[in-house]
Structure formats: structure tokens, C-alpha cells
Structure 1
Amino acid sequence: PMFYSDNYFALLPGEKKEVSFHWKDEDTRGNAPKVVVSGYNVE
């Protein structure tokens, strides 16, 4: 499993948010971790 500091939030134009991701190396089974981010009204 992967743990992160926040899983849902809204940002207004110009705002920033830092989200931390944590996992155990053995949970990746030798694969590189991949994070995909998406949103609405994103240019």
C-alpha cells in the first residue's frame, strides 16, 4: 500500500499544495513507483 498526506483537495488559481507519498521499497516488487495526477479545469 501507499500512504499519502491528503487524498482530496481543491485549489484556487495561484494556490499550491504539497502532498507527501510514502511506501515501503519491498512493496514495489522491484518496479519504479508511478504517480498519476489529474484534475478539472487544468490547462
Structure 2
Amino acid sequence: MLKERTLVITPDALDSMITDYHWIVNAIKEMRAEMVVGEITA
């Protein structure tokens, strides 16, 4: 049988994830916008 695993996140790691979330979302939006512009000009 499969064993269940528990993900342990330290408070520092959680704080980093929360802090970086908006930066990562904005980076993804910029990459998607560049891809759309690239498709239009290609």
C-alpha cells in the first residue's frame, strides 16, 4: 500500500512563500503577455 506523507513547512518557508507569491504571479503575467505579442508578430 501507499504510505501517506506529511508536508512540513517551517514558519520561515511559509513567510517566504507568502512574500514571493505576488512577485511570481506578476512574472507569469509578464511572460504570458510576451508570448501573446510573439504570436501576433510571428
TM-score tier by shorter-chain length is under 0.3
Q: Which has the higher helix share?
A: 2
Q: Which has the larger radius of gyration?
A: 2
Report the structure, 1 or 2, having the larger strand content: 1
Q: Relative CO higher for 1 or 2, CA cutoff 8 Å, sep ≥ 6?
A: 1
The normalised TM-score by structure 1 is 0.25
What is the TM-score of this pair, normalised by structure 2? Answer: 0.26
